[in-house]
Amino acid sequence: MSENFLQLLNMSITAGWIVLAVLLVRLIFPKLPKYIRCLLWSVVGIRLVMPVSVESIFSLIPSAQTISPDIITQNSFDINTGFTRIDTPLNDYLGDHYYEGVTIPTNTGLNLMQILSVIWLAGVAAMLVYATINYMNLRRKVKISLPYAEHAYLCDNISTPFILGIFKPRIYLPSHLTQTQITHILAHENAHLARKDHLFKPLGFLLLSVYWFNPILWFAYILFCRDIELACDEKVVQNMSIEDKKAYSTTLLACSIKQHRLISVCPLAFGEIGVKVRVKSILNYKKPAFWVIITAVVLCIIMTVCFLTNPVDSKKVKTDITGKKWFITTVQKQDTGEIIACDADYLTQHKNASMADLTLTADADTLTIYDNLNQKKYAFGYHLDEKNKLSTLYQLTSKQTKKTGIANFSTTTYADGKSEYTLLLTLENYTLNFTEKPSVIYNPKTDMLTYECYQPDSLYAPVRPALYLSLTDNRFKFVYSETDRIEGIYQRKDGKLILTTIDGQDSYQFEIIENAIKRENSIFRYDCLKFDAEHSSQVPKCTVNDVTYRPLKGQLEFYGTMSIIEDMENFKNLQIGEEEADIDGDGIKEQCTFRIANTTKPFSFVFIAAQNGKIKYENTFESKVCVAFKLVETKKGCQLHLLDHKNSKAHTIYDISIKDGNIALTEVKS
């Protein structure tokens, strides 16, 4: 019930934006036909009954989920109005007060929503009881009535005409009315019946009963009731002369009554709502010009497209793992935590590991792992299993080997807007880390650009070829094995990158596929380079462990995106989370990074906190599950929330402290 109420609360807030839009349209276009106003109110009603909606770039809804479900599942009260200037200070304030005291139960958010749900249900019941009593009272008054015309009855116990009934609506007329007045009233009430207002008004009240807690919707319902009366008046008087309009207005004034009830519920009473405004509208009515009708139609279309769709969520994790260039990072044996194979970049960290030569491709329904050294391939079918804010989980199956496993796909977005994708495969007792990482890296400490070649046929040696370009003095290093390299000066000319060795004897040429390297707010864009062996000197052969490898051949691409990295060592291992928070209470936020740890536990992680690109704290922790990470700053300090990828509602909370100069975690018991 708590989840249902939270969804209704968010739907109510979303509909509130549409109400404000309708009010703005009414203000800007006062000459719109009144029936168009009713159509605009219908957009509000439709939105109130739509639990889901499609996303659209045309949506003008600031946020489709103002209050996050985290209040129930993660004990985190986050507001997302769609306006950063509102959200940031409000969330900072709410975060501090919501977590006051370390003894607050982890299910506080759930309890709060359960209490509010009970209050909401009580309000709905009160509204429905009020409507029932109101209806039964009117039925009692018109119990004794005489037929006058089709669907019309005369009654002595009422003071104003109205329609009562939903499936078999009847028009009830006070018996003291004159024939002229009856003629005007029947024309008005029959217009209501033709427009089906006897259905729409109770439906509007039913929606108001569900969303009674939103004052904006009360105001909208009152205006809606006025607009359906004005629309009926326009329908009746559109062909009347000025004298007939005056007579109709006189009847309206004669039948006007004072409104004593809290709000109009069931009947469509002739003189019950906004008589003064209606008389002015009747006497000033003119048939709308053609351009007004066209404008009204366009407005209805725009309102429908812009307010019945949700904004595109730019923070959603992309779940498409196809079309990416996946390369191995590490192969870890889970039972011992031993690194049995890894990428060349990791050899310096894992002395006992061997060089892995694995690549992976993904099409619509198959993941294929290629063992380039042994010329073998392994195919796994996969399907989407579960998705959360930080990652996407797939189930793997292999008909070949009868093996099953999981693939955890996540993304890291850098300051330049580019993303790095990682794919963590768990198969039996092995964990394989694949990544489509930025292969062009800029290190501001050395002012050096790094390009790496990841194409499988270029792996002629245990180290992938790499090109290093200095932005300071135009020097280069072209590394093609662990110990062999070529150095010299580079230049850009006619869309080519030309490398010339120090002795001037050899040159190597690269075609610049995309030339977009430029300084922009201290952020570099990227180049995509293609090595042209035909127009280059031959790269010398290299010998590793008494094995001679062939030189580079063909046109091999050195490709990828580039991001600024302050400390290269921080990013050597697989990142699985990154946030900013003040974890040591010194008033300065640290850049906190989480990555897979190489320990005996398959889901262990390293917690790194850095300032100004330098590591301040670093510690390794064991986790019970494969998790997503979230840091929450409280009045008492900072907390780490670990979210279970298999169960979005399950999570573990730790208090973060600094002990003996390093990070310590203390689990908060529920």
Q: pLDDT at position 560, please?
A: 40
**What local confidence, expressed as pLDDT, does residue 569 receive?**
32
CB 606 within 8 A of CB 623: no
Do 515 and 527 form a contact (C-beta atoms < 8 A)? yes
Q: In the prediction, which pLDDT does 122 show?
A: 93
- The 10s digit of each residue's pLDDT in 99-108 is 444 444 556 6
pLDDT for 211 equals 92
> For residues 443 and 568, is the Cβ–Cβ distance under 8 A?
yes
pLDDT digits (tens, 9 = 90+) for 545-584: 566 666 666 656 664 433 332 322 332 333 455 678 889 8
Average pLDDT (478-496) is 80
Annotate 307-370 with three-state secondary structure.
HCCEECCCCCCCCCCCCCCEEEEEEEECCCCCEEEECHHHCCCCCCCEECCEEEEECCCEEEEE
**What is the pLDDT at residue 531?**
82
pLDDT of 82 > 50? The answer is: yes
What gap in Å lies between CA 585 and CA 154, rounded to an integer? 79
Residue 285 CA: distances (Å) to CA of 31, 176, 232, 236, 566: 10, 29, 12, 11, 70
Burial class of 120 by CB neighbour count within 10 A (0 to 12, 13 to 18, 19+):
buried
Would you state the structure tokens that stand for residue 525, as one six-digit string? 């864009």
What local confidence, expressed as pLDDT, does residue 570 receive?
Answer: 30
Q: What is the pLDDT of residue 386?
A: 64
**Residues pairing with 643 in the sheet:** 628, 651
Is the model's pLDDT at 45 over the cut of 50?
yes
CA pair distance 356, 326, nearest whole angstrom: 13
Determine phi and psi for 82, rounding to 5 degrees: 95, -5
Q: Report the share of the chain in percent with pLDDT over 90.
A: 8
Using alpha carbons, select from 464, 500, 502 the residue that is nearest to residue 481.
464
How far apart CA 451 and CA 468 sit, in angstroms, is 6
Q: What are the structure tokens assigned to 575, written together?
A: 């990142």
Q: Which secondary structure element, helix H or strand E, spans residue 502, and what is its range? A: none
| DSSP code string of 132-197 | HHHHHHHHHHTSS-EEEETTEEEESS-SS-EEE-SSS-EEEEETT--HHHHHHHHHHHHHHHHHTH
Return the pLDDT at 562: 38
When pLDDT is averaged across residues 408-433 and rounded to a whole number, the result is 74
The model's pLDDT over 319-343, given as tens digits with 9 standing for 90+, comes to 678 878 788 888 888 777 788 888 7
Q: Which comes out higher in pLDDT, residue 244 or 562?
A: 244
Rg over alpha carbons for the chain, rounded to the nearest Å, is 35
How many Cα atoms sit within 13 Å of 219 on the Cβ side?
A: 10
The Cα 565–Cα 447 span in angstroms is 11
Structure tokens at 162: 């109205």
Please answer whether residues 386 and 645 qualify as being in contact, where contact means their C-beta atoms are separated by less than 8 angstroms. yes
Cα–Cα dist 583/487, whole Å: 44
Q: DSSP string of 261-275?
A: SSS--S-EETTSS-H
Average pLDDT, the chain: 76
CB 174 within 8 A of CB 159: yes
Residues 500-520 as b/e (b if ≥16 CB within 10 A, e otherwise) read bbeeeebebbbebeeeebeee
Region 490-513: what's the mean pLDDT?
Answer: 84
Distance, CA of 663 to CA of 100 (rounded, Å): 22
Q: How many residues does the chain have?
A: 670
535 vs 262, residue with greater confidence: 535
- Are the C-beta atoms of residues 162 and 269 closer than 8 Å to each other? yes
H or E stretch covering 598: none
Q: Which segment of 125-134, 156-165, 442-451 scores lowest on mean pLDDT?
A: 442-451
The model carries a pTM of 0.51
Question: For residue 416, is pLDDT > 60?
Answer: no
- pLDDT score recorded for residue 519: 32
pLDDT tens per residue, range 625-659: 555 677 888 888 898 887 654 454 557 888 999 99
Write out pLDDT tens, residues 271-310: 666 778 888 888 888 888 788 888 888 888 888 888 888 8
Residue 353 and residue 141: Cα distance in Å, rounded?
Answer: 91
Distances 358 to 363, 451, 455 between C-alpha atoms, Å: 17, 20, 11
With a cut of 50, say whether residue 600 has pLDDT above it.
Answer: no
Q: What is the mean pLDDT of residues 124-146?
A: 88
Asked if residues 252 and 279 have their Cβ atoms less than 8 Å apart, the reply is: yes
Structure tokens at 52: 């889901």
Query: Does the pLDDT of residue 355 top 70, yes or no?
Result: yes
Task: Provide the pLDDT for residue 365.
Answer: 81
Which amino acid, residue 158?
I
Tell me the C-alpha distance between 61 and 18, whole Å. Answer: 8
Specify which residues 134 forms β-bridges with: none
Query: Distance (Å, rounded) from C-alpha 593 to C-alpha 595?
Result: 7
Residue 209 has pLDDT above 80, yes or no: yes
Query: Is the pLDDT higher at 480 or at 36?
Result: 36
3-state secondary structure of 82: coil
Point out the least confidently predicted range of 206-220, 369-383, 530-544, 557-571: 557-571
pLDDT at 457 over 60: no
In this structure, what token pair is assigned to residue 95?
């975060």
Report the distance separating Cα 438 and Cα 324, nearest Å: 12
Tokens at 614, concatenated: 């330098």
Q: Residue 216's pLDDT is what?
A: 93
Alpha-helix runs per DSSP H in 211-241: 215-237
Whether the per-residue pLDDT at 375 is higher than 80: the answer is no
